């Protein structure tokens, strides 16, 4: 990797570019913006790429520009303080009990868009956890995969039967905010694991998210045969065999990599079942150190924390016996146990095992087990009651820490400045304090409305810019441009439906009564528009069909260009959408949304939540901070549930939402709407933020796992 040649006076730009800390500190973003705005934009807000593209003249000019240097010096000082101050929340409140860091394992991480190694909510959560741990000073190292092709990019095509095209692009590692990690003796191979008859060598990349180091595993090394080099190429391959290979590499290899780096976590956090094989490696280590199998199991369990993230069965990895035998026979022989004992790690009666369920393995082998919302906790206890048949369902030992979002990442800078003015300077340091948010009521409606209008215009511009790129670069048909953006109106009430396309989220629910929807949308004086965004998993054909359906509707003339579909939903577009939409729509089938976090981001930014009361909205809705679609009861017949929810959706729009939105004063400000926006911020932000979530994890979970004697 060619190192950057920067003028001495500003040579720490390199350090700043390689630590994604810059991505959630606005002044640091300003440094790169001010350095060269054009390259900042062209690089896709990726300063590593930007710095590689800048000419020596531009760099030299910056190095002597007093104004730039003042900005740069200020940011570097703040960066140094953030990175090394001993005065953190964690140190102040919990000075004594944690010896090693928390090892946080996840299949995906969404830290910044320049590193497209995430698919959706699970990755977003993992990224937000890493950042918030850094902000609070919680010692954490994270382990995941560096997928050179990541998740696919989505193009849509009106003229196809199935309109989603999946495009995989090779990431340029030299232009990514990652660094190769070498072993203490300079080797690129840090560890290896056995896959059947082969030994797979593992290399590692480091991403820094503030104080949190994220180690990303990579098997694309010349030591490996082609089939193993490709193992880490893509996220969520549908192919079972490749999947178990990946998970063996991540779980077992991940532990070995940390050991090779002499990093020894005190607590091991399994984020979703995909990473549960890390438990096996730690059992092997304990036995190698002389423990009996039972004792090894006990010790590993005591220091393992597990979070489960989905009530949808297809979201749980279940490997058939033949694959488990193929890839793990070596393992149970090496630790000196038989097959049945091995399977007993994941279920009571190992001899009768038909498959290996990764969630069951993680549940059985952790001492702290967490669901991600109150309602999901209930559903999860019911779902896994079979593992604890002797206790009543309410006592199944799985409890809840509700997810939250990393506020500095998701808040719009324009809004942050307004909060600065009315909540007080340094509001961001105290954003989980409910008392602080009482002051949101003091923000004058017209100021808040003006900021919201700006953000909405930015959303429409961003949509048009993406459309323009496709028109210019790919020569897409004009009809497609209409769907991508071109008739969108920055003054109409704008609803966003942006999330993974899967059946349970019911993206086509709003089309149940086409005529009624057309009437709502086409109201001449009170128009409504809907923007859709989201990817279907490449192997999920029913959901691709739904996507095609929605997309085709958007191109119908009857909808007057008031429906749009933005391609390639990602973190970048998500920021525009949650910050710029008026209304954030979520229509999951009940009990299937574990938590959902996009509505929290929307509420933070003044986009009101309109959702079925599932996931976090079950506890977040208070009657005045958004709207609930339909009743809370679970209807056993999906058809009836769809009917009732569609009816509730139309009725809310017709009777409540549209009138409230268009009820303006003489200057055009909707005071009733603004009252609701403020109520949403007040009641939601301090509770549904990653700061509250990580404090809770620390106090309820990590602390107990670090002192096993207290939790037994």
Ligand X SMILES: *Cc1c(COP(=O)(O)O)cnc(C)c1O
Q: Count CB-CB contacts under 10 A for residue 468.
A: 14
Task: Say whether residue 311 binds ligand X (CB under 6 A).
Answer: no
Q: At what angle do helices 413-422 and 445-474 cross, to 10 degrees?
A: 170
- Nearer to ligand X by Cβ, of 614 and 645: the residue is 614
Task: Say whether residue 412 binds ligand X (CB under 6 A).
Answer: no
Task: Say whether residue 596 binds ligand X (CB under 6 A).
Answer: yes
The minimum distance between CB 384 and ligand X, in angstroms, equals 22
CA distance linking residue 166 with residue 158, whole number of Å = 14
- Nearer to ligand X by Cβ, of 346 and 566: the residue is 566
The minimum distance between CB 374 and ligand X, in angstroms, equals 16
List the interface residues with ligand X, window 522-561 (CB under 6 A).
none
The minimum distance between CB 492 and ligand X, in angstroms, equals 23
CA distance linking residue 33 with residue 387, whole number of Å = 54
Q: Count CB-CB contacts under 10 A for residue 37.
A: 10
**Residue 556 CA neighbour count, 13 Å, CB half:** 17
Task: Say whether residue 570 binds ligand X (CB under 6 A).
Answer: yes
Task: Say whether residue 502 binds ligand X (CB under 6 A).
Answer: no
β-partners of residue 584 are 496, 609
- Nearer to ligand X by Cβ, of 496 and 706: the residue is 496
| Neighbour-count burial for 617-630, b at 16+ CB within 10 Å, e otherwise | bbbbbeeebbbbbb
Quickly list DSSP for 605-639: TTPEEEEES-TTHHHH--SSSEEEES-SSPPS-HH
Using the contact rule CB under 6 A, the part of the chain among 340-348, 473-481, 516-524, 590-598 near ligand X is: 590-598
Among 571, 585, 657, 677, binds ligand X (CB under 6 A): 571
β-partners of residue 234 are 150
Contact of 282 with 255, CB cutoff 8 Å: yes
Q: What's the burial of 644, exposed, middle or buried (CB within 10 Å: 0-12/13-18/19+)?
A: middle
- Nearer to ligand X by Cβ, of 136 and 574: the residue is 574
The minimum distance between CB 495 and ligand X, in angstroms, equals 15
- Nearer to ligand X by Cβ, of 235 and 248: the residue is 235
Contacts of 67 (CB under 8 A, 6+ apart): none
The minimum distance between CB 240 and ligand X, in angstroms, equals 25
Among 307, 310, 597, 611, binds ligand X (CB under 6 A): 597
List the interface residues with ligand X, window 598-637 (CB under 6 A).
598-599, 601
Q: State how beta strands 191-195 and 179-181 pair.
A: unpaired
- Nearer to ligand X by Cβ, of 319 and 532: the residue is 532
502 backbone dihedrals φ, ψ, rounded to 5°? -145, 160
The minimum distance between CB 358 and ligand X, in angstroms, equals 21
Closest CA to 677 of 572, 584, 611, 589: 584
The minimum distance between CB 353 and ligand X, in angstroms, equals 32
List the interface residues with ligand X, window 224-243 (CB under 6 A).
none
The minimum distance between CB 121 and ligand X, in angstroms, equals 3
List the interface residues with ligand X, window 176-215 (CB under 6 A).
none
Using the contact rule CB under 6 A, the part of the chain among 132-140, 243-251, 436-444, 565-573 near ligand X is: 565-573
Q: Tell me, rounded to whole angstroms, the distance of Cα 670 from its chain centroid.
A: 33
Contact of 204 with 190, CB cutoff 8 Å: yes
Contacts of 33 (CB under 8 A, 6+ apart): 40
The minimum distance between CB 596 and ligand X, in angstroms, equals 4
Using the contact rule CB under 6 A, the part of the chain among 79-87, 187-195, 264-272, 567-575 near ligand X is: 567-575
Quickly list DSSP for 447-509: HHHHHHHHHHHHHHHHHHHHHHHHHHHH---HHHHIIIIIT--TTSEEEEEES-B-GGG-TTG
- Nearer to ligand X by Cβ, of 408 and 596: the residue is 596
- Nearer to ligand X by Cβ, of 110 and 207: the residue is 110
The minimum distance between CB 614 and ligand X, in angstroms, equals 11
Using the contact rule CB under 6 A, the part of the chain among 296-304, 564-572, 631-639, 685-693 near ligand X is: 564-572
3-state secondary structure (DSSP) of residue 699: helix
Closest CA to 550 of 503, 606, 511, 597: 511
The minimum distance between CB 577 and ligand X, in angstroms, equals 8
In the chain the first and final C-alpha atoms are separated, in Å, by 49
Binding mask 109-138 for ligand X (x = CB under 6 A): -----------xx--x--------------
Using the contact rule CB under 6 A, the part of the chain among 356-364, 464-472, 591-599, 627-635 near ligand X is: 591-599
The minimum distance between CB 124 and ligand X, in angstroms, equals 4
Task: Say whether residue 574 binds ligand X (CB under 6 A).
Answer: yes
- Nearer to ligand X by Cβ, of 101 and 127: the residue is 127
- Nearer to ligand X by Cβ, of 124 and 371: the residue is 124
The minimum distance between CB 593 and ligand X, in angstroms, equals 7
198 is written with which tokens? 């082969």
- Nearer to ligand X by Cβ, of 175 and 570: the residue is 570
The minimum distance between CB 410 and ligand X, in angstroms, equals 8
- Nearer to ligand X by Cβ, of 123 and 251: the residue is 123
Binding mask 442-481 for ligand X (x = CB under 6 A): ----------------------------------------
Using the contact rule CB under 6 A, the part of the chain among 457-465, 593-601, 655-663, 687-695 near ligand X is: 593-601
- Nearer to ligand X by Cβ, of 570 and 679: the residue is 570
Number of residues that bind ligand X (CB under 6 A): 13
Among 234, 456, 499, 537, binds ligand X (CB under 6 A): 499
CA distance linking residue 123 with residue 214, whole number of Å = 13
The minimum distance between CB 178 and ligand X, in angstroms, equals 20
Q: Collect contacts of 552-560 with beta carbons under 8 A, ≥24 apart.
A: 552/158, 552/163, 553/511, 554/483, 555/158, 555/479, 555/480, 555/482, 555/483, 558/518, 558/522, 559/518, 559/521, 559/522, 560/487, 560/521, 560/522
- Name the region of 194 (left: φ>0; alpha: ψ -120 to 50; beta: rest): beta
Task: Say whether residue 492 binds ligand X (CB under 6 A).
Answer: no
CA angle 582, 585, 413 (to 5 degrees): 45
Contact of 209 with 20, CB cutoff 8 Å: yes
Q: Which residues bind ligand X (CB under 6 A)?
A: 120-121, 124, 499, 569-571, 574, 596-599, 601
């Amino acid at each position: 990797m060619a190192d950057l040649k920067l003028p001495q006076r500003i040579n720490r730009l390199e350090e700043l570019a390689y630590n994604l800390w810059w991505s959630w500190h606005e002044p640091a973003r300003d440094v790169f913006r001010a350095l060269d705005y054009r390259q900042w934009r062209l690089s896709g807000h990726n300063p590593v790429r930007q710095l590689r593209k800048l000419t020596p003249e531009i760099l030299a000019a910056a190095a002597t520009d007093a104004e730039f240097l003042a900005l740069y010096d200020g940011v570097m000082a703040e960066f140094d303080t953030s990175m090394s101050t001993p005065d953190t929340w964690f140190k102040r409140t919990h000075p004594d009990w944690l010896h090693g860091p928390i090892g946080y394992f996840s299949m995906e991480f969404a830290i910044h868009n320049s590193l497209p190694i995430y698919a959706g909510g699970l990755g977003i959560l993992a990224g937000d956890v890493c950042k918030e741990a850094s902000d609070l000073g919680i010692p954490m190292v994270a382990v995941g995969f560096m997928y050179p092709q990541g998740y696919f990019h989505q193009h849509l095509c009106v003229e196809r039967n199935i309109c989603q095209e999946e495009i995989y692009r090779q990431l340029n590692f030299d232009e990514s905010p990652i660094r190769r990690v070498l072993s203490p003796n300079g080797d690129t191979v840090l560890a290896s694991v056995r896959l059947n008859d082969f030994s797979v060598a593992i290399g590692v990349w480091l991403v820094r998210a503030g104080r949190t180091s994220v180690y990303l595993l990579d098997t694309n090394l010349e030591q490996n045969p082609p089939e193993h080099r490709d193992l880490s190429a893509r996220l969520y391959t549908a192919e079972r065999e490749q999947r178990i290979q990946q998970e063996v590499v991540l779980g077992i290899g991940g532990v070995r990599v940390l050991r090779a780096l002499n990093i020894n976590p005190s607590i091991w956090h399994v984020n979703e079942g995909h990473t549960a094989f890390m438990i096996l490696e730690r059992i092997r280590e304990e036995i190698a150190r002389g423990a009996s199998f039972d004792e090894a199991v006990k010790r590993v369990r005591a220091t393992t924390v597990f979070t489960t993230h989905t009530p949808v069965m297809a979201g749980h990895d279940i490997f058939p016996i033949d694959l488990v035998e193929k890839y793990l026979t070596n393992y149970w022989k090496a630790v000196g146990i038989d097959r049945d004992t091995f399977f007993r790690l994941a279920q009571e009666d190992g001899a009768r095992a038909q498959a290996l369920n990764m969630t069951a393995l993680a549940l059985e082998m952790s001492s702290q087990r967490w669901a991600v919302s109150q309602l999901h906790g209930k559903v999860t206890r019911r779902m896994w009651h079979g593992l604890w048949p002797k206790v009543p369902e309410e006592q199944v030992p799985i409890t809840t820490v509700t997810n939250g979002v990393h506020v500095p990442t998701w808040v719009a800078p324009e809004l942050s400045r307004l909060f600065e003015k009315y909540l007080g300077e340094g509001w961001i340091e105290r954003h989980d304090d409910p008392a602080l948010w009482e002051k949101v009521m003091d923000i004058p409606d017209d100021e808040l409305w003006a900021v919201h209008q700006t953000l909405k215009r930015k959303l429409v511009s961003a949509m048009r810019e993406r459309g323009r790129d496709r028109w210019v670069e790919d020569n897409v048909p004009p009809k497609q441009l209409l769907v991508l953006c071109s008739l969108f109106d920055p003054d109409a009430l704008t609803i966003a439906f942006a999330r993974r396309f899967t059946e349970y989220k019911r993206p086509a629910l709003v089309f149940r009564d086409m005529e009624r929807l057309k009437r709502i949308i086409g109201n001449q004086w009170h128009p409504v528009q809907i923007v859709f965004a989201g990817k279907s998993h490449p192997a999920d054909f029913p959901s691709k069909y739904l996507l095609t359906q929605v997309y085709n509707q958007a191109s119908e003339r009857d909808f007057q260009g008031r429906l749009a579909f933005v391609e390639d939903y990602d973190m970048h577009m998500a920021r525009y959408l949650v910050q710029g939409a008026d209304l954030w729509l979520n229509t999951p089938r009940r009990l299937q949304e574990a938590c959902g976090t996009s509505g929290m981001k929307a509420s933070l930014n003044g986009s009101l939540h309109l959702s079925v009361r599932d996931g976090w909205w079950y506890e977040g809705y208070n009657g005045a901070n958004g709207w609930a679609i339909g009743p809370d009861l679970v209807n056993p017949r999906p058809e009836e549930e769809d009917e009732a929810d569609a009816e509730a959706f139309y009725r809310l729009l017709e009777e409540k939402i549209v009138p409230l939105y268009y009820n303006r004063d003489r200057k055009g400000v909707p005071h009733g709407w603004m009252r609701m926006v403020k109520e949403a911020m007040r009641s939601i932000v301090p509770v549904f933020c990653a700061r509250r979530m990580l404090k809770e994890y620390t106090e309820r979970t990590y602390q107990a796992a670090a002192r096993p004697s207290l939790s037994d």
